[in-house]
């Protein structure tokens, strides 16, 4: 039942993962042979070169198909487990996943061993892949996953009389897998593999899909648990009398901590789920980098003056923090009230919708403000084609589809409902606003990605000569017409004055620069504030569903119109996409902010 979502995500995430394969800022990764000189190309058309490239391309397709099928076998087992039939049990699924994890551990050991043995030959690195803040985040999530494994082992000890051994082997291997994988991520994720390509390609894709399968399994367990909780709550409130099948262990716990372990587990799920999806994204970048060559570019960033991160920030972070704080309050109140009595249940849902309407309204306005600011900026944005930007764009819109479907279902349900609860019209308004907010935010993020200079300079590695030409043209026209670019020019001027000139002309003032900076910096300041506010807003909107605040389950409107099965299916499709969307929006906005 709650498995429908899984099916699509295999295909979807494959698409999604491409995103993390961005062109780096200080290095450029290009496919082998793409930027080769004519003489190099001549030599590579000799037989050995051809067969190597042949093998590489075939290995890419074959390994991709291998990985997809691994995932699909796992999904098939998951679907069978989801039915709770007599033939396939959870232990079978966990054994399969354990085998995949062991395979990945062995491969990583082989890889690390070989790297250590050949320490003399330094490997090319993709400098941009796996920045330290992403690796730090992953490490924290990995630690929480380890705690989860400990809880699982603790629960097994309590129920060991009636639980299959597979249920303790799984967390032990998972812990081992987590530790070795984090080590691998810290020291090898930037590697650009050149030798033994075929074997290493299969190893990396195996790792990618093992993590994707672990993500699917986590998402399934989480939503199954959520659904069970939801049904229990409905029964307690007297709404329905659903029979809740208990698929837990059928014996008494021999220790006192079992229930603590079981209930704590579910607070750790969101981190475990995000951990696996992030790791598979990073490994996917590594897979794409196999056989590629890193090209060193000029470090544009170091040439630019350092702009303090917090400069010009005022309303954005303030409003954003208010949003975040109020969201946490709403989350706490909702979680407590929704299961108490029918009255508090309805008021909790109303509160959620009112809070959502205010937050979404502000976010929509902020996005619209950002777009308006861009409209007043006559500097032509960089419109050259870039595969990674195109992918970013497709992913944002693609991940929005889940929420949009959910929203339109809510609109239909609120429009035609017979029961007409108190929150009917706020639910309708909330859903419409959500559609609007995502549309505006997508436009803003896509526009921003095309506006950031760094992106323009580094995401066009294979057209470097043309990029230079157009950059020159842009700065010529911009110095005449564009205050936005002018702002930066001024910064650079000021910087030069401060750092270089004083020795020569210490007393000479810079007559125009400060006033121009004062009057012209407003666009950038506004966009920075908008970006920070949107980052915090999206984090708030991630927090709510990630920690169980999902009124779409509780409000009853959609159940009435769509029935339990269809609506659960829609939610299981839309919810993970929605969580992914918010995460992806935050990471895109952080990137935009760093280049502003």
Which residue of 68, 112, 307, 543 would you call a contact of a second copy, by CB under 8 A? 68
**Binding residues for a second copy restricted to 477-536, rule: CB under 8 A:** 477, 481
- Which residues, at least 6 apart from 298, have a Cβ–Cβ distance to it below 8 Å? none
**Binding residues for a second copy restricted to 349-388, rule: CB under 8 A:** 375, 378, 380-381, 383-385, 387
**Closest residue by Cα to residue 174 from 140, 210, 224:** 210
Least distance (Å) from a second copy to the CB of residue 36?
10
Stretch touching a second copy by CB under 8 A, among 158-166, 217-225, 409-417, 535-543? 409-417
In three-state form (DSSP H/G/I as H, E/B as E, the rest C), the secondary structure along 6-23 is HHHHHHHHHHHHHHHCCC
**Binding residues for a second copy restricted to 411-440, rule: CB under 8 A:** 411-413, 416-418, 435, 439
**Residue 463 has what DSSP assignment?**
G
Q: Which is nearer to a second copy, 32 or 340 (CB)?
A: 32
Which residue of 268, 543, 569, 590 would you call a contact of a second copy, by CB under 8 A? 569
Inter-residue contact 583 to 274 (CB < 8 Å)? yes
Least distance (Å) from a second copy to the CB of residue 73?
5
By rule CB under 8 A, what string of x and - marks binding of each residue 435-474 to a second copy?
x---x--xx--xx--x------------------xx--xx
Q: Tell me the backbone φ, ψ of residue 471, rounded to 5 degrees.
A: -65, -40
CA distance 473 to 535: 33
Which residue of 65, 420, 468, 515 would you call a contact of a second copy, by CB under 8 A? 65
Residue with tokens 């000890």: 157
Handedness of CA 245, 247, 252, 253 (dihedral sign): negative
Contact between 560 and a second copy (CB under 8 A)? yes
Least distance (Å) from a second copy to the CB of residue 565?
7
Least distance (Å) from a second copy to the CB of residue 95?
13
Stretch touching a second copy by CB under 8 A, among 105-113, 344-352, 539-547, 564-572? 564-572
- Which residues, at least 6 apart from 24, have a Cβ–Cβ distance to it below 8 Å? 126, 127, 128, 129, 458
Stretch touching a second copy by CB under 8 A, among 97-105, 304-312, 547-555, 560-568? 560-568
C-alpha distances (whole Å) from 181 to each of 85, 178, 283, 500 are: 34, 5, 10, 48
**Binding residues for a second copy restricted to 1-40, rule: CB under 8 A:** 1, 3-4, 7-8, 10-12, 14-15, 31, 33-34, 38
Contact between 408 and a second copy (CB under 8 A)? yes
CA distance 166 to 174: 12
Stretch touching a second copy by CB under 8 A, among 55-63, 158-166, 521-529, 581-589? 55-63
Count the site residues for a second copy by CB under 8 A. 91
Least distance (Å) from a second copy to the CB of residue 383?
6
H-type alpha helices, 32-89: 38-44, 47-82
**Pairing of β 27-30 and β 293-296:** antiparallel
Stretch touching a second copy by CB under 8 A, among 173-181, 262-270, 343-351, 391-399? 391-399
Secondary structure (DSSP) of 405-430: HHHHHHHHHHHH-SS--TTHHHHHHH
């Amino acid at each position: 039942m709650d498995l429908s979502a899984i099916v699509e995500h295999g295909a979807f995430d494959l698409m999604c993962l491409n995103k993390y394969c961005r062109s780096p800022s200080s290095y450029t990764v290009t496919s082998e042979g793409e930027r080769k000189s004519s003489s190099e190309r001549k030599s590579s058309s000799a037989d050995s070169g051809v067969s190597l490239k042949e093998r590489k391309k075939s290995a890419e397709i074959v390994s991709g198909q291998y990985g997809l099928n691994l995932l699909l076998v796992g999904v098939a087992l998951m679907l069978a487990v989801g039915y709770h039939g007599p033939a396939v049990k959870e232990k079978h699924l966990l054994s399969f996943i354990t085998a995949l994890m062991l395979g990945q551990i062995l491969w990583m050991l082989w890889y690390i061993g070989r790297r250590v043995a050949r320490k003399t030959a330094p490997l090319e690195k993709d400098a941009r892949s796996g920045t330290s803040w992403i690796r730090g985040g992953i490490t924290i999530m990995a630690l929480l996953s380890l705690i989860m494994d400990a809880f699982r082992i603790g629960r097994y000890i309590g129920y060991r009389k009636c639980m299959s051994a597979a249920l303790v082997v799984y967390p032990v291997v998972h812990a081992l897998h987590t530790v070795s994988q984090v080590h691998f991520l810290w020291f090898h994720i930037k590697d650009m593999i050149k030798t033994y390509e075929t074997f290493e390609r299969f190893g990396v894709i195996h790792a990618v899909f093992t993590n994707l399968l672990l993500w699917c399994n986590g998402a399934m367990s989480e939503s199954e648990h959520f659904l069970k909780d939801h049904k229990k709550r409905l029964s307690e409130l007297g709404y329905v009398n659903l029979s809740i099948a208990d698929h837990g262990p059928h014996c008494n716990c021999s220790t006192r901590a079992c229930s603590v372990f079981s209930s704590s587990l579910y607070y750790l799920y969101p981190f475990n789920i995000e951990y696996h999806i992030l790791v598979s994204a990073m490994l996917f970048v590594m897979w794409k980098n196999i056989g590629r060559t890193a090209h060193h570019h000029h470090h544009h960033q170091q040439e630019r003056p350092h702009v303090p991160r917090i400069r010009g920030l005022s309303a954005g972070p303030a409003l954003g923090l208010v949003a975040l704080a109020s969201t946490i309050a709403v989350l706490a109140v909702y979680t407590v009230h929704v299961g108490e009595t029918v009255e508090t249940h309805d008021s909790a849902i109303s509160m959620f919708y009112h809070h959502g309407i205010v937050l979404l309204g502000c976010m929509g306005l902020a996005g619209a403000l950002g777009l308006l600011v861009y409209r007043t900026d006559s500097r032509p944005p960089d419109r050259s084609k870039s595969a990674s930007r195109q992918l970013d764009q497709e992913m944002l819109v693609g991940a929005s589809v889940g929420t949009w479907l959910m929203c339109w279902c809510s609109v239909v349900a609120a429009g035609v409902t017979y029961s007409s609860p108190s929150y009917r019209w706020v639910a309708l308004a909330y859903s419409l606003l959500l559609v609007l907010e995502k549309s505006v935010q997508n436009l803003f993020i896509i526009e921003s990605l095309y506006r950031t200079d760094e992106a323009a300079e580094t995401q066009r590695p294979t057209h470097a000569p043309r990029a230079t030409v157009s950059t020159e043209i842009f700065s010529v026209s911009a110095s005449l017409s564009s205050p936005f670019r002018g702002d930066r020019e001024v910064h650079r001027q000021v910087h030069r004055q401060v750092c270089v000139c004083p020795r020569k002309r210490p007393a000479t003032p810079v007559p125009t620069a400060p006033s121009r900076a004062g009057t012209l910096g407003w666009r950038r300041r506004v966009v920075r504030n908008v970006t920070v506010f949107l980052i915090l807003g999206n984090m708030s909107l991630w927090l709510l569903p990630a920690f169980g605040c999902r009124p779409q389950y509780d409000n009853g409107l959609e159940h009435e119109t769509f029935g339990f099965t269809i609506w659960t299916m829609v939610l299981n499709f839309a919810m993970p996409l929605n969580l992914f969307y918010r995460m992806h929006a935050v990471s895109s906005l952080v990137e935009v902010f760093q280049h502003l």
